[in-house]
Chains A and B, each alone.
Chain A
Amino acid sequence: MPSDQPLLSLRVVFLRQFLRHGRSIMTSPADVANPLLFFFMVITLFPLGLGPDPTTLAALSPGILWVVALLASLMVSAKLFASDFEDGSLEQLALAPYPLAVTALAEISAQWLATGFLLALLSPLFGVMLGLPDEGLLTLSVSLLLGTVCLTLIGALGSALTVSIRRGGLLLSLLIIPLNVPVLIFGTTAVREAVLGGNPESWLALLGGLALGSLVVAPLAIGAALRVSLDS
């Protein structure tokens, strides 16, 4: 929108949108608790299904923890932009004289802090519940910290592409699960290496690279995808 007034700096715009979205997340704590509760429930069910043998659980736990984290992030990302699209906020954001990439990244950051970041912080607790050996706990937390950044951004891209489609849930999963596969592989391998006394750092470095790469590329793609969604 053309305007005579001086534009706010992108940093201020980012911060305002971040606070606005953060405030609206805080007012519905159920949305924050849901993925964590899902994670907790699945983790408690696995020992019941697999039997309480610590060696079996320890061997399987890196994979289980990461797959559940991936599914939890899928749950969140499916509705990331849905409310913005329905209530018309997205239209107004698209009319704003700022790149959609910046405002979308602000919302994604707030969302990540409320879900991915919390999940990574609490993950050692879940790891202990699944009998993950102590050496793997820190790596699990760090790998999820980096991994959820990728998962959230990829999920946001899927959500941006499918937000205008009614019941786009299945399409969304089809779109983003293949993109999530490398993240899953690097993450589980890092935790497994840590448990076996190997070298998790190189895998964590790969995850970090993926996270930085998606932080640069994904917002631009998300901004473009949101515009496409508004056009239809």
Chain B
Amino acid sequence: MLLEVTQVAIERGDRRLLSDVDLSVSGGEIWQLVGANGVGKTSLLRGLAGVARLGVTGEIRHAGAFLYLGHASALKSSLSPVDNLRWHPASDVTASVGQICEALAAVNLAGYEYRPVGSLSAGQQRRVALARLLLSDAPLWLLDEPFTALDVAGCEWLEGCVRRHVNAGGATVFTSHQPSRFGPLQQDLDLGRYAV
């Protein structure tokens, strides 16, 4: 069990979005949080990661390290991809330049290693952020709208990346409006059912 969520309720401001959410995520599982805009997918994911604590009640237990990638890419636009990826504050993993270049090549950004991230396109910036997946050894990935801004090839790469991660015993919880990318491999958590 990598993540155990019991009776979690999410409030934003004075409005209750979700209540009594139960979820348990084990290795090898892919969970997609689905629901209409504004139902609280991002709020729940931020709550699961522990970014927001106010308004989150219930029990959220992590059994190991996790990697959270939010809407915002956490990249400094004035720094190059290599400088950005060299140290990820939320994990202890310090990647060597060789490893970073390998990861950047895998996301099809070879040749952009030393350009400022701000000069890259939105999709390319997304790819730099997703290169963190390759540099982390956290078993649980929490991804907020990871497919946004990616082109078809990028989406396919990310899909393969998640499949490999899950086959290796990891787990992924993500939000997306794209229906069932992973087919039978994935399970949906429809937040509409928990909406208040």
For A6, give the chain B residue with the smallest CB separation.
Answer: B92
- Return the contact of B68 from the options A6, A95, A231 (Cβ within 8 A): A95
B154 contacts the other chain (CB 8 A): no
Bound complex: CA A70 to CA B56 (Å): 40
Q: Are A89 and B92 in contact (CB under 8 A)?
A: no
Query: What are the residues of chain A within 8 A of B55 when measuring CB–CB?
Result: 231
Main secondary structure of the interface of B (DSSP, over half): loop
Q: How far is the CB of A187 from chain B (nearest CB, A)?
A: 33
Which A residues from 26 to 81 make CB contacts under 8 A with B? Answer: 27-28
Query: What are the residues of chain A within 8 A of B180 when measuring CB–CB?
Result: none
Query: What are the residues of chain A within 8 A of B72 when measuring CB–CB?
Result: 86-88, 91
Q: Are B116 and A94 in contact (CB under 8 A)?
A: no
For B78, give the chain A residue with the smallest CB separation.
Answer: A27
Bound complex: CA A87 to CA B73 (Å): 6
Given contacts A88-B72, A92-B74, A230-B51, contact A3 B91 (CB under 8 A): yes
Q: Are A7 and B92 in contact (CB under 8 A)?
A: yes
- Return the contact of A89 from the options B49, B63, B66, B89 (Cβ within 8 A): B89
Bound complex: CA A1 to CA B86 (Å): 19
B113 contacts the other chain (CB 8 A): no
Q: Are A2 and B71 in contact (CB under 8 A)?
A: no
For B139, give the chain A residue with the smallest CB separation.
Answer: A4
A96 contacts the other chain (CB 8 A): yes
Which A residues from 87 to 127 make CB contacts under 8 A with B? Answer: 87-89, 91-98, 103
- Return the contact of A1 from the options B75, B77, B90 (Cβ within 8 A): B90
Given contacts A17-B89, A96-B90, contact A91 B68 (CB under 8 A): yes
Interface string of B58-72 (1 = CB under 8 A from A): 000011111010111
B163 contacts the other chain (CB 8 A): no
Bound complex: CA A88 to CA B88 (Å): 12
Interface string of B84-122 (1 = CB under 8 A from A): 001111111100000000000000000000001000000
Q: Are A24 and B76 in contact (CB under 8 A)?
A: yes
Query: What are the residues of chain A within 8 A of B62 when measuring CB–CB?
Result: 1-2
Query: What are the residues of chain A within 8 A of B77 when measuring CB–CB?
Result: 87
B53 contacts the other chain (CB 8 A): yes
Interface string of B130-157 (1 = CB under 8 A from A): 0000000000000000000000000000
Given contacts A86-B72, A230-B51, contact A20 B83 (CB under 8 A): yes
- Return the contact of A92 from the options B52, B71, B89, B116 (Cβ within 8 A): B89
Query: What are the residues of chain B within 8 A of A92 when measuring CB–CB?
Result: 68, 74, 88-90
Query: What are the residues of chain A within 8 A of B71 when measuring CB–CB?
Result: 88
Q: Are B90 and A4 in contact (CB under 8 A)?
A: no
Bound complex: CA A98 to CA B70 (Å): 19
Bound complex: CA A16 to CA B88 (Å): 10
For B76, give the chain A residue with the smallest CB separation.
Answer: A24
Bound complex: CA A97 to CA B91 (Å): 8
Q: Are B90 and A95 in contact (CB under 8 A)?
A: yes
Bound complex: CA A86 to CA B90 (Å): 17
Query: What are the residues of chain B within 8 A of A16 when measuring CB–CB?
Result: 87
Knowing that A3-B92, A87-B75, A232-B54 touch, tell me 6 more A-B residue pairs with CB under 8 angstroms: A5-B93, A7-B92, A87-B77, A88-B73, A92-B68, A97-B92
Q: Give me 13 A-to-B residue pairs in the complex whose CB atoms sit less than 8 angstroms apart, sorted by A's number.
A: A1-B90, A2-B64, A4-B65, A16-B87, A24-B79, A88-B74, A91-B68, A91-B72, A94-B51, A96-B89, A96-B90, A230-B51, A231-B54
Which B residues fall within an 8 A CB radius of A? 46, 49-55, 62-66, 68, 70-79, 83, 86-93, 116
List 3 tightest A-B contacts by C-beta distance, closest first: A88-B72, A231-B54, A88-B74
